[in-house]
Structure 1
Amino acid sequence: MTPPQLPARESLTVEFKSDRTRLPDRDLIEAIVCLANAEGGELWLGVEDDGAPTGLHIEHQQLMGMAGLVAARTSPSLAVTVTPVQFGNVVVAHIAVPKAPGEVATTGGVYLRRRLKADGEPECVAMLPHDRASRARSFGQMDASAQIVAGATLADLDPLERERLRQSVQQYGGDRVLLELDDEALDGALGLTGRLSGGHRVPTLTGLLLIGREPALRELVPTHEFAFQVLARESVRFNEFRRFPLLKALDWLETNFRPYNPEEELQVGLFRVPVPLVDLGAFREAVANALIHRDYHRLGAVHVRLEDGALVVSNPGGLVDGVTLSNLLTIEPHPRNPQLADAMKRIGVVERSGRGVDKIFRGLLKFGRPAPDYSRTSREDVVLRLPTDPADLEFRRLVVDAERGGSSELPIDSLIALSALRTQKRLTAEELAAYIQRDAAQARQTLEALTEAGLVEPHGATRGRSYTLSAQVYRLAGGQAAYTRQAGFSAIQHEQMVLSYIRQHGLIVRGDVMELCRLSSDQAATLLRRLKAKGVLKQQGERRWASYTLAGEA
């Protein structure tokens, strides 16, 4: 087995501990607990803070009992793997620490977690009660939105907001069964109230957030706040903070956003297709997701900010455990506040399938705009940037025609593929797989379906096949010359280019053919074999050392 490699420096998942003067067991256990309560990682015992290995203290050189010590001094017991690693004439201990599925403490009752400071350096800090609650929710172990709010009473629920809820069910096409229920049954069906041991009902966090009175929200849910901001270069045109219940909040945000969302029209056949600065469906989904999935144990507002070049929506609380930037499009829904999310789905405010991210992507890509950008997301905040670049009207026309021809919306993978081909010009199935966050086989299926629809054309053999937008698509956009450039040269042209190269340079190898003709390795090999079979070229050497010259030359 390859020994672990010593990292260059400490990070969120790497800790160095000097052992020249014996590291106390308490300090060792606390450092391991600190890593386990963050992302897990590795602790290097016998390494200085600057990364220099100085070795283990004589009392730590027998590593057999170290894993048992950790298990005995942590609660619940933490299983670590201890491996000796030699550097020159010194031996250090590599301790692999798993990410704890819940919070873990020392048997002395100390809870610690690892975090990065503002300068990027790691540190261990106390794990406070709200940190523990947030971590439990991130693992799906606790639903804060289903909890009864201490001190809340039914008088804190607003009858006008309950009526707004009923109207929202009708407006957004929600579960119409809800409209047949009386107030008590409605509250129970959506989890707006819970029952105490005595039998009387009191509001849950979901209830207060959806239909709570504003004074009650201010007092009982002080973390709930949102802001709408419009920034123009260095000036602020709009900047207001509110604490409305969520359905009123969505109405208020959309009402204030509409004047800043100009719209043009595109004529497609007999129909006029609106082309807004920001698709309202994507706007609603992004804002609703931020309000629903924020961490209600953290102070901080949900920000909806229109700035030069983008609409930015951010909320406190990073992505929940298991969700990453590389699986946003494919992972099963992981709501931070399940009961609140379920209530909003039944009302119809958000996508009932739980695939709201698809809706956000569709709202940008169908207008030929760049994909949503989550790259500024951190452990503390989710930040979504929706670019407001000028729409590509011809691309929008293409999407409308394709969807009308198929009598349904294009699958999101197909829309991502068309958008990627529009910007990258040529893709392989392996390259598209990264865009759609699926494997190459599924990407190939998407491309072949688009090929059958006449929107995409394949080039080359099966293994080295690449794809471009079809000649029809380029022709509709007035880009016939661009199509010719992207489709590449014909086989005869490739042959002439190879022969011309040899005449100029004396010989050619497969790598030269790949660069000259923009072919894959397999395609270049096939071209050379064809020329050799025709008697035009002769081969010198075998396999990777093969080169080719003109057959008529000595």
Structure 2
Amino acid sequence: MLLTEKESLTIEFKSDKKKLSDNDLIDSIVGLANTSGGKLYLGVEDSGEVSGVHKDHSNISTLSAFIANRTVPPLSTRCEMEVFNGLSVVIINVNQSRSIVATSTGKILRRRLKTDGTPECVPMYPYEITSRLSDLSLLDFSGQPVPDATKDDLDPIERVRLRNIIKINYGEASLLELTDDELDSALQLTKEVEGKHIPTITGILLIGKRESIKRFVPTMETSIQVLSGTEVIVNESYHRSILSTVEKIENYFNAWNPSTEMDFGLIRMNIPEFNRRAFREALVNAFCHRDYSMLGRVRVLINDEGLTITNPGGFIEGVTIDNLLYAEPHGRNPVLADALKRIGLAERTGRGIDRIFSGSLFYGRPLPDYSASTSKNVNLFIARSAPDKNFVRMLTDEQSKTGKDIPVDALLILNSLKELRRASIKQVANQTKLSEIKVQATLGRLVESGLVEAIGSGKSRNFLLSSKLYRDSDNSVGYVRQTDIDKLRSLELILALCKQQGEITKSNVVELLHVNERQAYTLLKKLVDEGKLVVLQKGHYAKYGMP
């Protein structure tokens, strides 16, 4: 018998016909625990064929105890016995460990996928241990003092740049009153070790000399590429401080970020292709959350499709693409992140991701896309897209009226309604990944503000964007079709649409009510017979209007 499951990063098959050796069993368990957890099927061949468990491994109670005794720290596993066509299989459930686990003989292993897609256990090397501990928020690599580094490795010119950034970006003003030594200490650019002030990784990254960055943090490399079709316009790489790199890349970005001018009555607005604040936040996030123990570089790519920013190191433990907007803010490099916030270069609340999403949502553009991210890197893609003029006008009017920015949750819900046209609380929650309670509360506020209209009551209550948005876009059919069909009869809907746009045709009724042409004609004739509509034009392309 073959199992339907296949081997993967979280599924492992082990043959036990000749009794799997204790070392091989423990190695596999440790590999699962140090990666993503999973299940080990004991008594199954690599092909998925069930061959049965050896009698020495059939006691699942003693097997769990054996695993705990042979791992450091002891792993708690759950063993289950299942029978397939008369053959017993032991399923060992292994949770992902919140620390580094080793075998009792001192081996530290992890799992990875080979080029053919099958898994294997491999040693975890020292730099990978550092990376793993950072992922688990058990080690802040950026806060570590750098052995052999001295204050001479810090660049006075970069420190002047840092002070200017604090002034320009309205960082903590009190930092400007400190001496250089006090500033370094306050931002943890240096730490005292045996009476000496030693630069930290953060210090080298922010204000280190170029040769010192190459020496002590050789992974601090950044590249920017600008492509037009297949033609390479810009292709540069840097080994320099984060502060000077951000400044350099922003200059290129501004040169290749055209704007669209839009008039809203007396208001004229320039809408850039990519939101500048969102780009700054995304770039700083890449430096802030990258894994500096891994080889690789922060890469910025601007091409015909859009903007891509990648950085080495996947999402930190507990953060996924689905919960990216709602996960509790925590980073891989807390000391570096804190310094960037305090000098005003990063969003101070730690919710820079909100700014990245708002930069697209406010203009009615597609959501930022993180789907190409892997366990080894984070990949952000922002597509080129024309702004939705009527959507922008509606949001701009609201912000002018309230004097406040629209929260990202509200923007997500408005964007969802723009796509769904008409939706229930549950549908919006599924679309936005927000809880139904939060969606309900936010929709209530949006209804009060006039940005959203509510139709129906109870479980049949639905929501749609303000009728003003549809009128501004000359989409009367789109608006009326969203109104409460359960509450209004078909005839009343036809009259409502006719009144909305001045006249109505058979094809309008087909589109509005999703009926066939014969049914549409019958409904229109009934309204004419009742004197509620008059025929404006006869024939196949007949038009009807209000009497």
Shift of 1:98: 1.0
1:30 equivalenced with 2:27 (yes/no): yes
Go from structure 1 to structure 2 and tell me whether the alpha carbon gap of 1:52 and 1:496 turns closer, same or farther (over 3 Å shift): farther
Give the alignment partner of residue 213 of structure 1, picking from 209, 212, 227. 209
For residue 552 of structure 1, what is the aligned residue in structure 2? none
Give the alignment partner of residue 310 of structure 1, picking from 299, 306, 323. 306
Three-state SS of the structure 2 residue aligned to 1:463 is helix
For residue 115 of structure 2, what is the aligned residue in structure 1? 118
For residue 360 of structure 2, what is the aligned residue in structure 1? 364
For residue 108 of structure 1, what is the aligned residue in structure 2? 105
Give the alignment partner of residue 257 of structure 1, picking from 228, 247, 253. 253
1:284 equivalenced with 2:298 (yes/no): no
- CA distance in structure 2 between the aligned counterparts of 1:176 and 1:251, rounded to whole angstroms: 21
- CA distance in structure 1 between the aligned counterparts of 2:206 and 2:465, rounded to whole angstroms: 46
CA displacement 1:20-79 (0-9 Å, x = unmatched): 111001100000000000011110000111111111112222332101110111011101
Give the alignment partner of residue 197 of structure 2, picking from 185, 194, 201. 201
For residue 544 of structure 2, what is the aligned residue in structure 1? none
For residue 373 of structure 1, what is the aligned residue in structure 2? 369
Shift of 1:486: 2.6
Q: Are the aligned partners of 1:329 and 1:437 in contact in 2 as well (CA < 8 Å)?
A: no
Shift of 1:210: 0.3
Shift of 1:451: 1.3
Go from structure 1 to structure 2 and tell me whether the alpha carbon gap of 1:492 and 1:286 turns closer, same or farther (over 3 Å shift): closer
1:432 equivalenced with 2:428 (yes/no): yes
Contiguous gaps of at least 5 residues in structure 1? 498-515, 519-554
- CA distance in structure 1 between the aligned counterparts of 2:188 and 2:431, rounded to whole angstroms: 38
User: 239-248 or 479-488, which moves further after superposition?
Assistant: 479-488
For residue 459 of structure 1, what is the aligned residue in structure 2? 455
1:54 equivalenced with 2:72 (yes/no): no
User: 178-187 or 224-233, which moves further after superposition?
Assistant: 224-233
Shift of 1:415: 1.0
Three-state SS of the structure 1 residue aligned to 2:426 is helix
- CA distance in structure 2 between the aligned counterparts of 1:377 and 1:149, rounded to whole angstroms: 30
1:406 equivalenced with 2:402 (yes/no): yes
Q: Which amino acid aligns with 1:14?
A: I
Q: Which amino acid aligns with 1:305?
A: L
User: 242-251 or 469-478, which moves further after superposition?
Assistant: 469-478
Three-state SS of the structure 2 residue aligned to 1:290 is helix
Q: Which amino acid aligns with 2:427?
A: E
Give the alignment partner of residue 94 of structure 1, picking from 91, 95, 106. 91
Shift of 1:471: 1.4
Shift of 1:402: 1.1
Q: How does 1:177-192 map to 2 (within 5 A)?
A: 177-192=174-189
For residue 66 of structure 1, what is the aligned residue in structure 2? 63
Q: Which amino acid aligns with 1:58?
A: K
Q: Are the aligned partners of 2:470 and 2:478 in contact in 1 as well (CA < 8 Å)?
A: yes
1:472 equivalenced with 2:479 (yes/no): no
Shift of 1:123: 1.5
Q: Which consecutive segments of 4 or more residues in structure 1 shift more than 6 A? A: none
Q: Which amino acid aligns with 1:449?
A: R
For residue 241 of structure 1, what is the aligned residue in structure 2? 237
Shift of 1:494: 5.0
- CA distance in structure 2 between the aligned counterparts of 1:29 and 1:489, rounded to whole angstroms: 63
Go from structure 1 to structure 2 and tell me whether the alpha carbon gap of 1:492 and 1:166 turns closer, same or farther (over 3 Å shift): closer
Q: How many residues align?
A: 495
Q: How does 1:126-165 map to 2 (within 5 A)?
A: 126-165=123-162
Q: Which amino acid aligns with 1:328?
A: L
Q: Are the aligned partners of 1:330 and 1:437 in contact in 2 as well (CA < 8 Å)?
A: no
Contiguous gaps of at least 5 residues in structure 2? 494-511, 515-547
Shift of 1:200: 1.1
For residue 528 of structure 2, what is the aligned residue in structure 1? none
Shift of 1:103: 0.7
Identity %: 42
Go from structure 1 to structure 2 and tell me whether the alpha carbon gap of 1:140 and 1:492 turns closer, same or farther (over 3 Å shift): closer
Q: Are the aligned partners of 2:456 and 2:487 in contact in 1 as well (CA < 8 Å)?
A: no
TM-score relative to the length of structure 2: 0.88
Q: Are the aligned partners of 2:416 and 2:432 in contact in 1 as well (CA < 8 Å)?
A: no
Shift of 1:490: 6.2
TM-score relative to the length of structure 1: 0.87
Shift of 1:492: 4.7
- CA distance in structure 1 between the aligned counterparts of 2:394 and 2:179, rounded to whole angstroms: 48
- CA distance in structure 1 between the aligned counterparts of 2:417 and 2:128, rounded to whole angstroms: 44
Three-state SS of the structure 2 residue aligned to 1:29 is helix
- CA distance in structure 2 between the aligned counterparts of 1:259 and 1:459, rounded to whole angstroms: 47
- CA distance in structure 1 between the aligned counterparts of 2:204 and 2:419, rounded to whole angstroms: 46
For residue 532 of structure 2, what is the aligned residue in structure 1? none
- CA distance in structure 1 between the aligned counterparts of 2:6 and 2:105, rounded to whole angstroms: 30
- CA distance in structure 1 between the aligned counterparts of 2:163 and 2:3, rounded to whole angstroms: 60
For residue 522 of structure 1, what is the aligned residue in structure 2? none
Q: Are the aligned partners of 1:454 and 1:472 in contact in 2 as well (CA < 8 Å)?
A: no
Go from structure 1 to structure 2 and tell me whether the alpha carbon gap of 1:410 and 1:48 turns closer, same or farther (over 3 Å shift): same
Three-state SS of the structure 1 residue aligned to 2:380 is strand
Shift of 1:489: 3.7
> How much is the aligned-residue C-alpha RMSD, in angstroms?
1.8
CA displacement 1:334-391 (0-9 Å, x = unmatched): 1100000000000000100011010001111111111111111110000011112111
Q: Which amino acid aligns with 2:176?
A: L
Go from structure 1 to structure 2 and tell me whether the alpha carbon gap of 1:267 and 1:42 turns closer, same or farther (over 3 Å shift): same
Shift of 1:496: 10
- CA distance in structure 1 between the aligned counterparts of 2:286 and 2:488, rounded to whole angstroms: 56
